[in-house]
Amino acid sequence: MSAYGPPGGAGPVVYDPMTLPVDDNVNKYTFCVELKSGQWFLQKGKMIAYYGAIEFNGIGHGRLDRLVRTSFHSPLHAIDWVVADGSGKMLLADRAFDVNSYDLDNGNLTIRSGNLLAFQPSLTLKQSIVPGFLTLIGTGKFVAASNGPVVFMEPPIRVDPQALVGWADCPSPCHHYDHGYMTGVMGGLRAMTGLGGASGEEHQFEFVGAGTVLLQSTETLMAEQATGAVPSEPGVPGGGVPGGHGQPPGAPRLPGQLGDLQRRFGL
Amino acid sequence: MFRLQGSKVLAVDMTGDAVKAKNGSMVAYDGQMAFKKLSGGGEGLRGMVTRRLTGEQMTVMEVRGQGTCWFADRASEINLVNLQGDKLYVESSNLLATDAGLRTGTTFTGLRGASQGNGLFTTTVEGHGQAAIMSDGPAVVLRVSPQYPLIVDPGAYIAHQGDVRQSFQSGVTFRTFFGEGGGEAFQIRFEGDGLVYVQPSERNTIAGDV
């Protein structure tokens, strides 16, 4: 035993490569991944420490071409991701947010791009048709961060846009506006500006069908990852084709972006 | 005697002895307490000048009395460290309190410090007793042993103790300049025998961007 332990077993737990958990949480905010000459995809800068021999390479690294071809289909996110390659144990954390791992068994899950921390290459990462979200397909483990613990809900459900982390196995959500929100120019203005007594809950995302919806227990969003632009083609939601109805159903509406409401009121 | 009350408040039970704590970090006390500001971290004139020159300034107060005193700082997580004659290296901004019997000082860290954006110097705490260090999120304590060296991201490192050698390793390659770097371009490698404290969060460093 080393001399630097706390006396009498009191004090903090000291971890070494033997006692660190395998692909599990060390505490609520730190996750340990074991690599046995394997690979994991992770978001840049989320590794806090590792034991062993692990190499970190950008997605564009030539040797990883085959891996990227089979598991990474989100070219616009490529600069945010790296591949950890080697043997050892690696600790992941993200700005002291809660981290959790989830297992997908031949399933699919869509998640806000800023919340996804790492995933096994047995999963395939694709860009969701909903801007700002990523979809994981296949079987394997992934690690996601959330602001506060994650709650699981079942559709039918309406959720606050800021609390939504992701959803699994159910269709993409649609927007839901409370009736009062849509009546008259004043109602619209009130809801948009918050002046004159809006409750702040006039707008929700509505989920239907069978599946699971993941919510975080706060309405403070985690910083978004830049998701880039999708190809500018007719029929691609958010493709920015002039004259088309750019906003797809289910796109998170950004503050200050009025979209179809703007047209409706002739503003 | 240091103990944690929750994870963000440090309670110190005192019977006429003293602790050194970050200036202004007292949140409550009962009993009789006297608070005295220690200029230059209580290291005398030489320490004061060294700290001024090295940028490792810390404003420290000495708390002496009978009773219990509670300390906290910006709701940071607090971690207790036991020192038995070994040396703790910690950034002055992460040090909350130490037993008055512990010696504090400054030491040169070289490139590691620079990569953390914390300057080239760090604070040392030496002797027998307890210290409390702060972190953003609860710290994970990792053992470094001769057969298992540890590599740490500079932004997540907060402190280490024991007989540990550290070296700076860089993964900067030509790819970094094309924006295809591994995202972990700067790392600190710890070898030897000791403990390293890492926090589940990364400070903003130059290393974070490449």
Tell me the chain A residues in contact with residue B200 when contact means C-beta distances shorter than 8 Å.
Answer: 27, 29-30, 48, 93-94, 96, 99
Identify which of A186-190, B9-13, B167-171, B179-183 has the greatest average pLDDT: B9-13
Q: Is the ipTM of this complex over 0.90?
A: no
- The pTM for the full model equals 0.79
pLDDT at position B52 over 70? no
* Mean pLDDT value of segment A256-263: 48
Q: For residue A246, how many other CB atoms are within 10 A of its CB? A: 16
In three-state secondary structure terms, B120 is coil
> Cβ B84–A44 below 8 Å, yes or no?
no
A12 to B151: CB separation less than 8 angstroms, yes or no: no
Higher pLDDT, A60 or B183: A60
Percent helix, strand and coil across chain A, each to the nearest 5: 15, 40, 45
Confidence at residue A61, expressed as pLDDT on a 0 to 100 scale: 61
- pLDDT surpassing 50 at residue A154: yes
Q: Per-residue pLDDT averaged across B66-77, rounded?
A: 92
Contact across the interface for B143 and A2, Cβ inside 8 Å: yes
**Cα A56 → chain centroid:** 21
Greater confidence, A48 or A81?
A: A48
Close Cβ partners of A40 (under 8 Å, ≥ 6 residues apart): A33, A83, A84, A90, A118, A119, A120, A121
CB nearest B80 (choices: A12, A28, A48): A12
Instruction: Enter the DSSP assignment of A192.
Output: H
Closest by CA to B197, choosing from B73, B75, B81, B74, is B81
Q: Is the pLDDT of residue B207 over 60?
A: no
Task: Scan for tokens 């029929």, then name that residue.
Answer: A235
Q: Closest Cα to residue B156, out of B99, B108, B187, B201?
A: B201
Higher per-residue confidence, B46 vs B180:
B46
> Which residues pair with residue B94 across a beta bridge?
none
Conformational region of residue B155, where left means phi above 0, alpha means psi within -120 to 50, and beta covers everything else: alpha
Tens-digit pLDDT profile for residues A160-174: 888 899 999 888 888
Does B111 reach chain A within 8 Å, measured CB to CB? no
Rounded CA gap, A130 and B70, in Å?
49
Task: List the beta bridge partners of residue A140.
Answer: A104
Q: Taking Cα atoms as reference points, which of A75, A265, A247 lies closest to residue A189?
A: A265
DSSP H helices in chain B: 44-54, 111-116
Give the C-alpha separation, B171 to B207, whole Å.
10
Who has greater pLDDT, A244 or A233? A233
Instruction: Give the phi and the psi of residue A193 in degrees, each rounded to 5.
Output: -95, -20
Q: What contacts B102, CB < 8 A, 6 or more positions away?
A: B20, B83, B125, B126, B127, B128, B129, B131
Nearest-angstrom CA–CA distance, A227 and A111: 13
Q: Which of B88, B150, B166, B205 to mutate to test the interface with A (most CBs of A within 10 A)?
A: B150
Those residues with Cβ within 8 angstroms of residue A237's Cβ, 6 or more apart along the chain or in another chain: A129, A130, A131, A230, A246, A247, A248, A251
Could you tell me which residue, B97 or A264, shows the higher pLDDT?
B97
User: Is the model more confident about A223 or about A245?
Assistant: A223
With 80 as the cut, is the pLDDT of residue B85 above it? yes
Is pLDDT above 90 for A55?
Answer: no
